[in-house]
A and B are shown apart, each in its own frame.
Chain A
Amino acid sequence: MANNYYDPADLRKFGNITQWSEELGNKFFDYYGKVFEEGALTAREKSLIALAVSHTEQCPYCIDAYTKDALQRGVTKEQMMEAVHVGAAIKSGATLVHGTMMMNKVNKLEM
């Protein structure tokens, strides 16, 4: 076991997860590949969504992979940062919107 939980070289081993459960692993990668094909959304739009979600999920592997993917698709760094802000806004908004629960509870409890 390495001294770090995350090793960039492990990203290259992602495909190996099929080794211990081939059927499920293959089904996952088939699904994954299909999701990112051009469809109603372009592959470029999907890449930017994936980049934003990579940040909200705080997945280092995903950030590594989708930053590179976005560059390959000609996405500018300004566009990438805006996508990250979209993720950040939803993440913080999701926290803040729960404030209404707190307000409801206070209003219910207080005379």
Chain B
Amino acid sequence: MTKLKQQSLHKRENQLANPNRQLEILNGGIFENGELPTFAKIITQTNQFPLRPKKLEILQINVGYMCNQVCEHCHVDAGPDRKEIMTWETMQKCLEIIKNTGAHTLDLTGGAPEMNPNFRRFVEKASQAGVKDFIVRSNLTIIRANKKYHDLPQFFKKYNVHVVSSMPHWTRGKTDKQRGEGVFDMSITALQQLNAVGYGMPGSTLKLDLVYNPNGAYLPGDQASMEKEFKSALKADFNIKFHNLFAITNLPISRFLDYLIASENYEDYMYQLVEAYNPKAVKNVMCSNTISISWDGYLYDCDFNQMLGLKVASKVTHINQYNESILNNRDIVISQHCYGCTAGAGSSCQGEVTT
């Protein structure tokens, strides 16, 4: 059995903590020698190169890489030892952007966003900006991690936050193997707390969605079938209800890349991604309607590019110069990790991208 790591790649000074090393791997080997086509080459075949943004719909803000968990697959390399936290000053600049954005969705992520000391103040202010859908990506266990977080369900409800939570499986074994011992039980309690205040109930406007990502070197199954299994098992075993399940493919970066290499699954996994490449998914990849903002205010095409240090290819790269019309006139930065978003039915922070 895999022993869970207790520290981030950064803390362990693992070479993969360096985004440039990750990009060397993604651009080298089987892609360099032509065994597999690069992502640029494959999208060129369907005249989709360069990838260009469509209308901006989602503003995703990463408020810090600190997390109470150290999940095996984490693309952020988040953990308790990460100190990159968005300051209140940067949050205030983000609030200005939120007030003026054309995007209809605000999506807060991390790490555990709730661990940012200014998280609640930020949510309160941001909720007044009039965005249609206000998402917080909560890992669930944070609600149980410390007494000061126990009231998060009520807090989320007060500001009508759309809660999107990670839940790798409906069984304890699979969940704890990926996310750490005890995570399943804490997640179940947290979900029951969310249900108790009205989240996830049929017809409720308090939206509770779950995120499923595979527990190893394989792709997610059909989202609708998985949702059915999750709903039936969580209802039968724990009387838990939720709205939608998003099936998300693990991208070969950061800790998941480290796992793939250490378990000698890297090449097979890249083959799986390339073989499952779906050109129809390309037009709806999330980078086409999203801007990702990092804890220090830099701008990226997506959270994955943020972790690879691939800033937007625009003269505007920081919130200090934020301008949506200039930003929208850019080419999206790609590498081989992008295959993760175009495999099968496609994958994004909102789950599958094709119907």
* Chain A contacts to B: CB under 8 angstroms: 12, 38, 42-44, 68, 71-74, 76
How distant is the Cα of A72 from the Cα of B169 in the complex, in angstroms?
11
Chain B interface size, as a band, is 10 to 19
Q: Ordered nearest first, which 6 A-B pairs have the shortest CB separation?
A: A72-B221, A73-B221, A71-B218, A68-B218, A72-B218, A74-B229
How distant is the Cα of A72 from the Cα of B250 in the complex, in angstroms?
12
What distance in Å separates the Cβ of A81 from its nearest Cβ neighbour in chain B?
13
The residue from B169, B219, B275 contacting A74, defined by CB atoms under 8 A apart: B169
How distant is the Cα of A74 from the Cα of B220 in the complex, in angstroms?
8
- From B272, which residue of chain A is reached at the shortest CB distance? A68
Does chain A have a CB within 8 A of B198? Answer: no
B226 contact set on A, CB distance < 8 A: 73-74
Secondary structure class of chain A's binding surface, majority of residues:
helix
How distant is the Cα of A44 from the Cα of B224 in the complex, in angstroms?
12
The residue from A38, A42, A44, A72 contacting B219, defined by CB atoms under 8 A apart: A72
Does chain A have a CB within 8 A of B80? Answer: no
A43 touches B218 (CB 8 A): no
Secondary structure class of chain B's binding surface, majority of residues:
loop
Does chain A have a CB within 8 A of B231? Answer: no
How distant is the Cα of A43 from the Cα of B224 in the complex, in angstroms?
12
B225 touches A76 (CB 8 A): no
How distant is the Cα of A72 from the Cα of B219 in the complex, in angstroms?
6
Question: Please, could you name 6 A-B residue pairs with CB atoms under 8 Å apart, sorted by A?
Answer: A43-B222, A71-B216, A72-B214, A72-B219, A74-B169, A74-B212
The residue from A12, A72, A76 contacting B171, defined by CB atoms under 8 A apart: A76
- Chain B 205-216 interface 0/1 with A at a Cβ cutoff of 8 Å (1 = within): 000000010111
- From B171, which residue of chain A is reached at the shortest CB distance? A76
What distance in Å separates the Cβ of B219 from its nearest Cβ neighbour in chain A?
6
How distant is the Cα of A94 from the Cα of B69 in the complex, in angstroms?
50
What distance in Å separates the Cβ of B277 from its nearest Cβ neighbour in chain A?
14
A73 touches B225 (CB 8 A): yes
The residue from A12, A42, A43, A72 contacting B220, defined by CB atoms under 8 A apart: A72
How distant is the Cα of A38 from the Cα of B228 in the complex, in angstroms?
14
- From B233, which residue of chain A is reached at the shortest CB distance? A74
B271 touches A12 (CB 8 A): yes
A44 contact set on B, CB distance < 8 A: 221, 225, 229
- From A12, which residue of chain B is reached at the shortest CB distance? B271
Does chain A have a CB within 8 A of B182? Answer: no
A73 contact set on B, CB distance < 8 A: 221-222, 225-226
A43 touches B219 (CB 8 A): no
